[in-house]
Amino acid sequence: MDGRGPGLVRDATAADAAACAAVYAPYVRDTAITFETTPPDAAEMARRIAVATASHAWLVLEDADGYVIGYAYGGRFAARPAYRWACEVSVYLEQGRRRTGGGRALYAVLLDRLAARGYRTALAGMTLPNDASAGMHRAMGFRPAGVYEAVGHKHGAWHDVAWMQRRIGAGDDPPAEPV
């Protein structure tokens, strides 16, 4: 896949940190989609990109002018060793760009990359209600895994978080270690 369609999907670098921080900040400040309460700055985002790319992946989506309009990444799902073949995935698009195919483009490349690294299951959490995210995840083959009720408090209200999951890899059992 060359990453073309709603934009160009490519590996993120530290140089993308400020753009990723700018995409993410409105979600932190204005929504309960993320439970962070202080938007990370470019230095923190660069650190997160480095951590994700070392073990999983972090991708950005550029528009035709080369401007970063979204990103997706994978990371550790849980700390216990038996979970090491599972990963948590997230995608964020510049506000106003939902339902443009950008999330699907990012996830298509991300899930392939994670499977190639040996991961078997991708899990995604989403604050409810979030019909756009749930629909995109269903379209990408994710299925419901459960709901944590009233698990996060932000903007003066309790919020549920739905989890969805998708198999992304197959292989020999016992599985090889993820790389």
pLDDT for the residue numbered 95: 87
The residue ranges of every structural domain in the chain are 8-120
| pLDDT reported for residue 5 | 55
DSSP 122-172: EEEEEESS-HHHHHHHHHTT-EEEEEEEEEEEETTEEEEEEEEEEE-----
| DSSP string across 40-73 | --HHHHHHHHHHHHHHSEEEEEE-TTS-EEEEEE
Distance CA 59, CA 13 (A): 9
CATH fold for the domain made of 8-120: Aminopeptidase (3.40.630)
Rg (CA), the chain: 16
At residue 53, the pLDDT reads: 97
Q: What is the rounded CA–CA span in Å between residue 127 and residue 130?
A: 6
- For the chain, 179 residues long, give each residue's pLDDT as a single digit of tens: 344 457 899 999 999 999 999 999 999 999 999 999 999 999 999 999 999 999 999 999 999 899 999 999 999 999 999 999 999 999 999 987 776 789 999 999 999 999 999 999 999 999 999 999 999 999 999 999 999 999 999 999 999 999 999 999 887 777 788 87
